[in-house]
């Protein structure tokens, strides 16, 4: 089995594959009238999505995702096999990690909800309908493997200084992580909690990861000991995070 990113000249084969699998899926279309808008949207999808394909002499599986947000929109297999499912999804995650994204979304049919939950996705919005097709919005959170890791933080907005983005005094040290071999691309933003004095550098543990709604990047919560005190963290980062809709995953949650 070969898994690779699909080139532009190969996309017609991909969409022919998608048409065949969709039309064979029981109850995907509520009636014949909903098939037409889907087939008419092929050219539109082509311009907005990238694809990863799995081949075993022929195309046997496809993942399609938005070029700008990497939101997962299509995950189809000729036959559902655990190894194929796992390998395709891992190839997709590798592409996501190149962008340092900490979360990605997925638009899925209600029938596919359990399939995506098995991959680690969570439902984040109620079921909706468009052009007669029902769908559910889900998301997948990355970077959880870094919880408990020891890292070095370089402070660029010390405790007590005026934060230029919000016009408030920093109630914790704010900075970034640049660990060789840990993350690709840009620096990772971080909050150092539990230290009530200005710092230049800090070594501590990743005790939490903060995800803002509708943003791909995350903020890491760093502390001296590998223990997550949620209420204390919320209080210390409120000066900036109170204006965002966010969630925090802690090391001991």
Sequence spans of domains, the chain: 2-141, 144-250
CB atoms within 10 A of CB 183: 15
CB atoms within 10 A of CB 88: 22
Choose among 154, 194, 150, 187: nearest CA to 172: 194
Choices 2.120.10.30, 3.90.80.10, 2.60.40.10, 3.40.50.2300: CATH for 144-250: 3.90.80.10
Choose among 222, 221, 215, 209: nearest CA to 244: 215
CATH architecture observed for domain 2-141: 3-Layer(aba) Sandwich (3.40)
- pLDDT tens sequence for the chain (253 residues): 899 999 888 888 888 888 788 777 644 444 455 555 555 655 566 667 899 999 998 999 999 998 888 998 888 898 888 999 999 999 999 999 888 899 999 988 888 899 999 999 999 988 988 777 788 999 999 999 999 999 999 999 999 999 988 888 999 999 999 775 566 556 899 999 999 999 999 999 999 999 998 888 899 999 999 999 999 999 999 999 998 999 999 997 7
Name, in order, each residue with C-beta under 8 angstroms of 229's C-beta and a sequence gap of 6 or more.
194
């Amino acid at each position: 089995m070969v898994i690779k990113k699909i080139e532009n000249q190969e996309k017609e084969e991909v969409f022919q594959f998608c048409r065949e699998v969709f039309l064979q899926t029981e109850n995907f279309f509520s009636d014949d009238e909903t098939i037409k808008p889907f087939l008419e949207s092929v050219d539109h999808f082509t311009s907005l999505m990238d694809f990863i394909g799995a081949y075993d002499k022929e195309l046997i599986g496809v993942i399609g995702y938005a070029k700008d947000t990497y939101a997962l929109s299509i995950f189809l297999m000729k036959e559902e096999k655990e190894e194929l499912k796992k390998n395709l999804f891992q190839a997709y995650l590798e592409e996501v990690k190149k962008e340092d994204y900490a979360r990605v979304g997925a638009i899925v049919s209600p029938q596919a909800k359990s399939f995506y939950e098995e991959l680690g996705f969570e439902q984040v919005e109620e079921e909706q309908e468009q052009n007669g097709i029902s769908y559910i919005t889900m998301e997948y959170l990355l970077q959880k493997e870094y919880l408990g890791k020891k890292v070095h933080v370089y402070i660029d907005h010390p405790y007590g200084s005026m934060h230029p983005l919000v016009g408030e005094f920093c109630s914790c040290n704010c900075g970034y992580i640049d660990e060789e071999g840990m993350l690709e691309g840009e620096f990772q933003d971080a909050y150092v909690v539990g230290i009530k004095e200005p710092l230049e550098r800090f070594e501590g543990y990743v005790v939490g990861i903060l995800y803002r709604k509708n943003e791909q990047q995350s903020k890491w919560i760093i502390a001296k000991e590998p223990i997550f005190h949620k209420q204390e963290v919320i209080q210390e980062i409120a000066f900036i995070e109170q204006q965002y809709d966010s969630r925090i995953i802690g090391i001991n949650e």
